[in-house]
Structure 1
Amino acid sequence: MVNLDTLILLTALLVSFVAAPLIFLIPEEQRTLRTLVNMVAAVVKLSLVMFMVWGVANGRDFALSFTVMETVSFRLRADALGLMFAGLSSLLWFCTTIYAVGYLEKSPNRKRFFGFFSLCVGSTLGIALSANLFTFLLFYELLTLSTYPLIVHRGTPQALKAGAIYLRYTLGGGVVLLVGMVSLQVLAGDVVFGEGQLDQMDAEHTPALIVTFALLVGGLGVKAALVPLHGWLPQAMVAPAPVSALLHAVAVVKAGAFGIVRVIYDVYGLGFAQQIGVLAGLAIIASFTIIYGSLRAMAQSDIKRLLAYSTVSQVSYIVLGIALFGPMGTIAAMSHLLHQGLMKSTLFFCAGNYAQELDIHRIEELDGVGWRMPVTSLAFTIGALGMIGIPPVAGFISKWYLGMAALESGMTWVIVVLMLSTILNAAYFLPVIYRLWFKPAPHDELDRWPEARLAGGLETSYWLMGPAIATAVFSLLAGMLAGVPFSPLQWATLIVNQEYVP
């Protein structure tokens, strides 16, 4: 007999998978009906995830499991860590759905886009709610397959090339992840997240567990864009802006980073991972990725490619926080999972607005645009300042806790990495902000811009402007109200206080 909590869990997971075939069946010209299905599914998913957040905070248990074959089971569970990722993906899916409706209003093949869009977000929620590696792998690979049509949506040679590169990287990473999962299955059986099964293993298995750890993190590191596994991400920027936001802030990159957190935190356990010596090397890889991504971002002239390399750098803060071994680093990593998603969504929404309204794609074309599109540009400025780590935006909270974690763990060299990263962040974001607000626009652009203004004096449509404003405000509130209950920082602290084993 399925109880109410299990039914809520299943409904939250399946609503996107039910919406997808409905969207595929709706005729292309019936925009209103397709939008209604999209929005109803997004609202239902967000509402149920928020209910589960409240329920878990009050001791309710949302879980489902059944045996697939001997020693292999399908398991779902809404724990505090999974709901942190589920809450992020549900909230940003809601915002991205609104944005995508406006962005693709006059584009062909909208039902195909939104159908796979729903499958993509359903897969992401499945990843968040997975309770063992087998279930995680199923949804992880489904995410790969459902994201590919979004990357190649425009059908241009550049889009098809980017899609082929994406598949080579992610399917290869999936194979490596599968080998790691099978290896762990042989060593320890069906490892359920959070049960500490590896702690009891004999020392003779340590070399095999180290190799298995490398396979798992290597497979996940492709989607998390760890260097040198990041090559697919800048190429995928040929996709429409809603897809870019989905890749960077909601689904793919976050799924890889979240998977690494799961492996370290809930499969190996922080204490055991530290004991067998796998965290120090991961901290070095993450630190290198942070600096490398920032250096590459400085060399970009295309706005979306700059943001892509910024993601390569910023997502590795999550990996670095976990690798610092300690409660403070874990809090920093988990809160940055949400902080970075909010800020990066804001930046990609704004980049899409510039492209849609003024056909601007390159940084040097932004001169004076802040006065033509002030709301979008203010939102972009908030997101960029947050990425640098300037208070009161949420990015400051992440970097502050990472710095304290480095001191707490005795890894003072990480402070140097954080300082250098902040300087580099400022070096590629502040010139963009300067162009927006302080450089005069060329005269030929001034002549062209008024013709692009919509009726009523709006700088762009409500569908495009609303999500950018919302995520920018959330980025500010996550920093300014970091101490209130259910903020990203406090939810991360709750996870650590409940489950952290020193």
Structure 2
Amino acid sequence: MNFSVIGLMQAVLVIPLLAAAGVALTGLRPNLREGISLVSGALLFAVVWSLYQSVMAGDRSGWTLLELLPGLTISFRLEPLGILFCLIASSLWMVTVLYSIGYMRGHGESNQTRFYALFAIAIASVGGIALADNLLTLFIFYEVLTLSTYPLVTHAGTDKARRGGRTYLGLLLGTSIVCFLPAIIGTWVVAGTLTFKEGGIFGDDITPVLLSLLLVLFVFGIGKAAVMPFHRWLPAAMVAPTPVSALLHAVAVVKAGVFALVKVGVFIFGLDTLGTLAVTEWLLYLVAFGVLAASLVAMRQNNLKARLAYSTISQLGYISLGVLLATSAGLLGSALHIAMHAFGKITLFFCAGAILVASHKSEISDMRGLGRAMPLTMAAFFIASLSIIGLPPAGGSWSKWYLILGTLEAGQWLLMGVLMLSSLLNIAYLLPIPLKAFFATDSTGSVGAGEAAGIREAPLTSLLAIMITTLMCLLLFFYPQPLYDLARSIG
């Protein structure tokens, strides 16, 4: 056992919790409070980067925190998929805090100390999910993530925020109790273990009908993956402040959902078993329907955050589809898309928040001509849109490339067509926003009226965060190797 690596794994959980405590204690001194969050984010990323180097060297160390019952433990283990998720969360925690400093102050948000503290707890939950060595550990931290983000969704304290929070909490807890938990119990009864294992844990004597039932329970029970029809919590949660939306869509919540789905597919069922189940194909078509349906709904949304929310539902479908293809290329595409979508979508939400703070505009129809007043923000929106669409020179092109290869490897020509049609729909609902912002006239008939109205770029820290994530979208096209190496090592 490598005790130095075990210590680093423990630090992944401890650093955010200490940050949450530090934020709570320094709430009356905003600069110190936010400094603690930034330093903690940088320290966490350094720890995860060290773990990345260990896992690429072949280290698969593990440790047990607590044994609840014989064979039922809260345990953690180092493995490539978990470290990929940790890299995304740790890097984007730091950047989101930087963005939030400008947004929360510029927008005059209340309860900022609570926001930063709960954000840190959510990141600790993500660390627990990412490093979980069994389904029980994953489930515990999965639920902690739901409970810690609920107050963030209802942050505004309005009736609308409370309604959105009830939908958020009701659907996520409901799917967990009705489907996810029974799936875990059924797995324990059938397989006699909940520990993740390469190639899956089910024996050859398990009937396909029982395996199919468990798979359906997992797919619908992991509500954070937003598989239709259990997706409504995601647009309902858009009542939250933009940094929370970024947390939900890119850093933690939805990524925890698709991560858990990939983890179950690879380490509980195994790709070979997934590929033999008839229900897998039906689930593939259901997910494909969700990809297209969410894109069509997104096109009809005039509110920018609502459009991005439905875009996220569609993009999550790509990841679910990739693992259900049960091919090596599909799995590689899913793992890469967890990362590529994170950087692209968080940039889009950062831009939406910057527009709201600087111009008080949230409806797309009001953003005509805004590019002259906010050129950096709208240029960032354009580049991030390319990544979501899957076009060079942005990182999203790699994940979509491997997803398409996965459909070919599985002989699923119809699903390849779905991915290509979805990319065209992505173009239709994303690119007109920056194009109209730069080239169309606003309601006054002047392209540059925003400048005359005194609209400027967002506060410096928010703008800096936008530039960082935008550069990452570009960098991941030219240098995807670290993420590619991790994704290729999964399973």
The answer to whether the superposition gives a TM-score over 0.5 is: yes
SS class of match (1:74):
strand
- The question of whether the paired residues in 2 share the 8 Å contact of 1:12 and 1:44 is answered with no
Assess, with a 3 A threshold, how the Cα gap between structure 1 residues 297 and 453 changes in structure 2: closer, same or farther.
closer
- SS at 1:67 equivalent: strand
Amino acid at match of 1:463: T
Match among 208, 211, 228 for residue 206 of structure 1: 208
| Inter-partner Cα distance in structure 2 for 1:157 and 1:465 | 31
Q: Report the equivalent of 2:402.
A: 401
Map 1:29-108; keep pairs closer than 5 Å. 29-65=28-64, 66-105=66-105, 106-108=108-110
Counterpart of 1:474, as a letter, is M
Distance 1:197 1:253, change over 3 A: closer
Match of 2:304 in 1: 303
Aligned 8 A contact 1:124 1:143 in 2: yes
* 2:126 is the counterpart of 1:124: yes
SS in structure 2 at match of 1:227: coil
What is the CA-CA distance between 1:224 and the residue it aligns to? 1.0
Say if 1:343 and 1:471, in contact at 8 Å, map to a contact too.
Answer: yes
Letter in 1 for 2:361: I
Q: Contact 1:453–1:460 at 8 Å: present in 2 too?
A: no
The aligned residue for residue 6 of structure 1 is 6
Q: CA deviation at 1:348?
A: 0.2
Q: Distance in 2 between matches of 1:451 and 1:367?
A: 14
- Any unmatched runs of 5+ in structure 2? none
Amino acid at match of 1:363: I
Could you tell me whether the CA contact under 8 Å between 1:188 and 1:197 is conserved in 2?
no
Aligned length: 486
Aligned partner of 2:487 among 478, 488, 492? 492
Cα distance per residue 1:120-164 (max 9 Å; x no partner): 111111111101000000000000000000000011111111001
Partner Cα separation in structure 1 for residue 63 and residue 355 of structure 2: 45
- After superposition, the CA RMSD in angstroms is 1.8
Q: Is the 8 A contact 2:20 2:116 kept in 1?
A: yes
Could you tell me how far apart the structure 2 residues matched to 1:365 and 1:40 are?
38
1:389 matched to 2:384: no
The letter of the residue matching 1:62 is S
TM-score, reference length from structure 2:
0.95
Distance 1:378 1:82, change over 3 A: same
Corresponding letter in the other structure for 2:321:
L
Please list, as runs of the form range in 1=range in 2, the aligned pairs for 1:190-339 lying within 5 A after superposition.
190-196=193-199, 198-203=201-206, 205-220=207-222, 222-339=223-340
CA deviation string 1:400-428 (max 9, x = no partner): 22222211211111121012111211111
Query: Residue 301 of structure 1: SS of its match in structure 2?
Result: coil
Aligned-partner Cα distance in 2 for 1:61–1:405: 27
Q: Which residue of 1 aligns with 2:467?
A: 469
Q: Residues 321 and 330 of structure 1 are in contact (CA less than 8 Å); yes or no, is this contact kept in structure 2? A: yes
Partners of 1:449 and 1:159 in 2: how far apart?
A: 32
Structure 1, 296-305 or 169-178: larger mean CA deviation: 169-178
Q: Report the secondary structure of 2:391's partner residue.
A: coil
Note closer, same or farther for the CA distance 1:196–1:425 as it changes in structure 2 (3 Å cut): closer
Identity %: 35
1:195, CA displacement in angstroms?
A: 4.4
Instruction: Tell me the distance in 2 between the aligned counterparts of 1:56 and 1:401.
Output: 23
Q: Which amino acid aligns with 2:30?
A: R
Alpha-carbon distance in 2 for matches of 1:400, 1:59 = 27
Distance 2:445 2:121 in 1: 44
* Structure 2 contact 275–325 (Cα < 8 Å) conserved: no
Change in CA separation of 1:201 and 1:466 when aligned onto 2, cut-off 3 Å:
same
> Matches of 1:444 and 1:407 in 2, distance apart?
49
Deviation at 1:441, TM superposition (A): 2.9
Tell me the distance in 2 between the aligned counterparts of 1:287 and 1:444.
41
CA contact (8 A) 1:184 1:209 kept: no
The answer to whether the 8 Å contact 2:193/2:201 transfers is no
Which whole-Å CA distance do the structure 1 matches of 2:449 and 2:425 have between them?
A: 35
- Find the counterpart in structure 2 of residue 434 from structure 1: 435
How far 1:201 sits from its partner (Å)? 4.1
| Length-normalised TM-score, structure 1 | 0.93
Shift of 1:191: 2.1
Superposed displacement of residue 22, structure 1: 2.5
Greater shift, 343-352 or 281-290, is seen at: 281-290
| 1:444 CA displacement | 8.6
Letter in 2 for 1:193: F
- 8 Å CA contact 2:56–2:486 kept in 1: the answer is no
